[in-house]
Structure formats: structure tokens, C-alpha cells
């Protein structure tokens, strides 16, 4: 498999496949493909794996793409303005990602769910209680909102992030929340009551914005229906 990330903030992943190779993608993410590409909806990993994906916000079925009679290509894109980045996993390693970040992956890659280890992180961390666990061997492609910020934290190194902006992190990274400063700052600082804390060692991927914030910014400018009785 060879791939190319095309574009800037409206990115598309173009993936070239050889005969015998295949890739699984989230339903509805395909942009274009060569004429010899076959696609088929499948329950990757069985019904239990499909139900787990549904719980994490993804599709019950994934679409499998594979070429016939020679090489082919297929391209995928996310559903919002943002960037695509590859995550490479191997036996013994895993990557934890936010719900709905998954775009597509090679066939040997496995998708599962992961639970936040602390209740307070699930309630206030902005990612919910259920995250995605990516394991196996190969490359998965994730989509984020806005731009990507990649950090390699050293052992004991801490980064604080506004809730909702964590795309994913390695299995060695500790995930928690903390108060955003003192009470006055938390109430009137404009950053919310809590921030997400990530403690190394390990890789961390952040996004520069999140869909909820975009929706909240646009809401005051959307037309409102006239009140009944006027």
C-alpha cells in the first residue's frame, strides 16, 4: 500500500492498492476510486466488533475496498474542515483516539473500544467515557478538525489542553482532567471549568478546534423560525 495526503485544510487521503491488498473505511468517506475497485460492506471483526464501533460513534459496517485485475486507487475524506494523519501500529503497541476520528485502515489493523480510566475524565474531559483503541499491524488514517499538533512527551512531562481538542495518544500516556486555574479563572476565564491533562511518556495528537465549538460560534447567526402567535 502507498498513500498520499492531498490538500491543506480540506484534505483527502489517496491510497494506491496492489492486487491482494485491501483497506477498510468508515461508511460514506469515499471520494473517488479507480474503475477496477470493488467495494463491499462488511462486519470487520464480527458482530461484536461492529457493535463496539457503533457504541464509539462509528458505523456498524465498514466498507472494504480491493482492486481486481491489477492495481487501483481509492480516496477518502473527512466530513468537516480539517486534516488527515496516519498512525502506524505494530504488535505490542496501540493508539487511543477520540470517537469519530477514524477514517480508514489497512486490513491487519484492528479497531476496538477503550474506556476512560477515571470517571471525572469521562464526565468533563470532552471526549466522553468511550474512546477508540487501534491495534494490530499497519496504518490507520484519522481525521481531525482544524490543524494538527503532534507532541512527543517525555516521562513525567505534562501538557494541558482545552477539553475536546485531544485527537489521540499512545498507550503509555496518562489521560486525566484538572481545574482550569483557580475558581475565579475557571468561572470567568472563558476556557471552561476544566482542562484535559496528558502525562508522558508517549505521543499526543491534538486538534486546533472542535466541531462543538464551531457549531456554538455559528449558532447566533443562524436564522430562527418566527414565534407562533405573532
Q: Which domains can be identified in the chain, with CATH numbers?
A: 2-221 (3.60.160.10)
The whole-number pLDDT of residue 52 equals 62
Show the cell assigned to 177: 482532567
The whole-number pLDDT of residue 42 equals 81
Show the cell assigned to 178: 484538572
Report the distance separating Cα 144 and Cα 217, nearest Å.
18
The whole-number pLDDT of residue 123 equals 45
Report the distance separating Cα 170 and Cα 150, nearest Å.
12
The whole-number pLDDT of residue 36 equals 95
pLDDT tens track, the chain, 230 positions: 999 999 887 899 999 999 999 999 988 899 999 999 999 988 766 566 656 655 656 666 889 999 999 999 999 998 888 899 999 999 988 999 987 788 999 999 988 887 765 544 444 444 455 788 899 999 999 998 888 999 999 999 999 988 788 999 998 998 887 766 556 555 555 555 678 889 999 999 999 887 766 776 677 777 876 655 44
Cα three-residue angle 168-23-11, rounded to 5 degrees: 55
Q: Within the chain, where are the H helices?
A: 47-55, 119-124, 183-188, 211-218
The whole-number pLDDT of residue 124 equals 45
N- to C-terminal Cα separation, the chain: 62
Strands (E), the chain: 2-6, 12-17, 23-26, 30-33, 37-42, 62-67, 72-77, 82-89, 95-97, 102-106, 109-115, 130-136, 138-145, 148-153, 158-162, 166-170, 174-179, 194-199, 202-207
Report the distance separating Cα 134 and Cα 68, nearest Å.
28
The whole-number pLDDT of residue 122 equals 44
The whole-number pLDDT of residue 130 equals 75
The whole-number pLDDT of residue 119 equals 47
The whole-number pLDDT of residue 53 equals 59
Amino acid at each position: 500500500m502507498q498513500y498520499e495526503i492531498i490538500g491543506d485544510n480540506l484534505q483527502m487521503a489517496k491510497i494506491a492498492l496492489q492486487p491482494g491488498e485491501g483497506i477498510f473505511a468508515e461508511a460514506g468517506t469515499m471520494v473517488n476510486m479507480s474503475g477496477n475497485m470493488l467495494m463491499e460492506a462488511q462486519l470487520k471483526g464480527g458482530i461484536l466488533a461492529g457493535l463496539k464501533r457503533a457504541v464509539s460513534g462509528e458505523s456498524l459496517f465498514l466498507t472494504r475496498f480491493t482492486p481486481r485485475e491489477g492495481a487501483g486507487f481509492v480516496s477518502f475524506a473527512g466530513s468537516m474542515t480539517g486534516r488527515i494523519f496516519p498512525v502506524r501500529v505494530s504488535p505490542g503497541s496501540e493508539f487511543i483516539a477520540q470517537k469519530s476520528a477514524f477514517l480508514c485502515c489497512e486490513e491487519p489493523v484492528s479497531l476496538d473500544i477503550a474506556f476512560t480510566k477515571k470517571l471525572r475524565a469521562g464526565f468533563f474531559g470532552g471526549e466522553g467515557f468511550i474512546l477508540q483503541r487501534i491495534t494490530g499491524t499497519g496504518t490507520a488514517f484519522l481525521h481531525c478538525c482544524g490543524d494538527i499538533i503532534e507532541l512527543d512527551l517525555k516521562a513525567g512531562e505534562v501538557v494541558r489542553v482545552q477539553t475536546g481538542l485531544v485527537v489521540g495518544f499512545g498507550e503509555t500516556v496518562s489521560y486525566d482532567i484538572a481545574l482550569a486555574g483557580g475558581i475565579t479563572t475557571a468561572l470567568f476565564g472563558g476556557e471552561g471549568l476544566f482542562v484535559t491533562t496528558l502525562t508522558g511518556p508517549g505521543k499526543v495528537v491534538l486538534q486546533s478546534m472542535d466541531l462543538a465549538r464551531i457549531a456554538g460560534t455559528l449558532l447566533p447567526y443562524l436564522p430562527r423560525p418566527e414565534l407562533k402567535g405573532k
